[in-house]
Amino acid sequence: MKDARAGLSGFIFDIQRFSLHDGRGIRTLVFTKGCPLRCRWCSNPEGLSPARQIMDDHSKCIGCGACARVCPRGAIRLEAGFPISRADCDGCGRCAESCPAGAKTICGQLKTVDEILAIAERDRPFYTHSGGGITLGGGEILSQPAFVWEILRRCGQRGVSAAVETSGYGEWDWLARIAGLCEIIHFDIKAIDPIRHKAFTGQDNALILENLRRLDRRLDELSPMPRLILRLPLVPGYNATEEHVRETAAYIRENLRNYQEIELLPFHNFGEQKYKKLDMAYELTDRQNTRPEELSRLAEILTEAGLPARISSW
């Protein structure tokens, strides 16, 4: 009997091969589409919506009007740059397919598990020599848990090391199952204070912290035990403060025991141009990147609290 899971598909917005981040060795990063959080500093706004979208780079438009002629919903306005009326666009992609200059491009592809694994197989020689593997992130992996779980299951069958990145916002049963198939789990802690968390991500953190505590206990049941890496994204004006880091350190010491290290992620505004291409507002235009001396001091606070900390290189 044919396994129905063989044709399981999911939406992704990018695949990055030969990466040296998000796990050991050389990695293939798969970015799933869809996220329940709306972090103001998110550098991948194209991963927020679960639907296919059109990215529009007005600087490349040559004014041919091909996009407007083929749009079945009349969502292309007859103005300079032929902007998209987002309320009317259903992401069909005809405008992007007709654009000779590449001003409009499709963001979001439906991929089967087999298609993802085929890419991983091509990269297997690099995993073998570097200790690398595949890393699934997003968006949020728990927004497409069955798709992610099946990729991880099949990776395990093939001897491909797998890692995930998660905000922890999703169903616990899926997170527990996914954890059992990973070598590495990267788990974000954006804020301990629930009011601050909701103000800057759009969601309360009660579910996230409960899932983190349960995940920590779940690791005791797994052999070999996955490496749990706690990540602290540090954004000036939000949580890049000694108060936040001390609060986080206290929470970790009180509630967790199975983490391997704490990784400090500096803020950067690399995703700003993506917001423009999606006609989305970017709130942190004038925010300065986290300074190295600030990161060093915040890392020292964790070290002084007896916690293993390191600063991310990106």
In the structure, what pLDDT confidence band is assigned to residue 314 with cuts at 50, 70 and 90? low
In the structure, what pLDDT confidence band is assigned to residue 2 with cuts at 50, 70 and 90? very low
Rounded CA gap, 199 and 174, in Å?
27
Asked if 61 and 101 count as a contact pair (C-beta separation under 8 A), the reply is yes
Rounded CA gap, 278 and 55, in Å?
5
Q: Give me the mean pLDDT over the 124-129 stretch.
A: 90
Domain ranges of the chain: 4-49+109-311, 53-107
Asked if 136 and 162 count as a contact pair (C-beta separation under 8 A), the reply is yes
Q: List the one residue out of 254, 235, 232 whose CA is nearest residue 305.
A: 254
* 8 Ramachandran zone, left/alpha/beta (phi>0; psi -120 to 50): beta
Percent of the chain, pLDDT > 90? 88
Domain 4-49+109-311 adopts which CATH fold? TIM Barrel (3.20.20)
pTM: predicted TM-score of the whole model, two decimal places: 0.93
Q: List the one residue out of 140, 109, 108, 119 whose CA is nearest residue 19.
A: 119
Q: What is the CA radius of gyration of the chain?
A: 21
Q: Give me the mean pLDDT over the 45-70 stretch.
A: 97
Instruction: Give the position of tokens 């020689």.
Output: 125
Quote the tokens at residue 54. 């059109």
Rounded CA gap, 204 and 191, in Å?
10
| pLDDT tens-digit series, residues 279-293 | 999 999 888 888 889
Percent of the chain, pLDDT > 70? 97
What pairs with residue 162 in β-bridges? 134
Distances in Å between the Cα of 242 and the Cα atoms of 231, 238, 270 are 16, 11, 25
Res 5: pLDDT: 55
| pLDDT tens-digit series, residues 17-57 | 998 888 889 999 999 999 999 999 999 999 999 999 999 99
Asked if 140 and 167 count as a contact pair (C-beta separation under 8 A), the reply is yes
Asked if 124 and 151 count as a contact pair (C-beta separation under 8 A), the reply is no
Q: Give me the mean pLDDT over the 294-302 stretch.
A: 95
Q: Give me the mean pLDDT over the 124-142 stretch.
A: 94
- As to burial, measured by CB atoms within 10 angstroms (0-12 exposed, 13-18 middle, 19+ buried), residue 188 is buried
Res 269: pLDDT: 86
Asked if 203 and 233 count as a contact pair (C-beta separation under 8 A), the reply is no
Instruction: Give the position of tokens 């600087």.
Output: 59
| pLDDT tens-digit series, residues 140-180 | 999 999 999 999 999 999 999 999 999 999 999 999 999 99
Quote the tokens at residue 199. 């103000």
In the structure, what pLDDT confidence band is assigned to residue 1 with cuts at 50, 70 and 90? very low
In the structure, what pLDDT confidence band is assigned to residue 7 with cuts at 50, 70 and 90? low
Quote the tokens at residue 114. 């087999």
| pLDDT tens-digit series, residues 175-211 | 999 999 999 999 999 999 999 999 999 999 999 999 9
- CATH ID of 53-107, from 3.30.70.20, 3.60.15.10, 3.30.2320.80, 3.90.1150.10: 3.30.70.20
- As to burial, measured by CB atoms within 10 angstroms (0-12 exposed, 13-18 middle, 19+ buried), residue 30 is buried
Instruction: Tell me if domain 4-49+109-311 and domain 53-107 are identical in fold.
Output: no
Give per-residue burial for 267-291: e unless 16+ CB within 10 Å, then b: bebebeebbbbbbbebebeebeebe
| Cβ within 8 Å of residue 171, ≥6 positions away | 142, 145
Rounded CA gap, 124 and 129, in Å?
9
Q: List the one residue out of 260, 162, 163, 257 whose CA is nearest residue 217.
A: 257
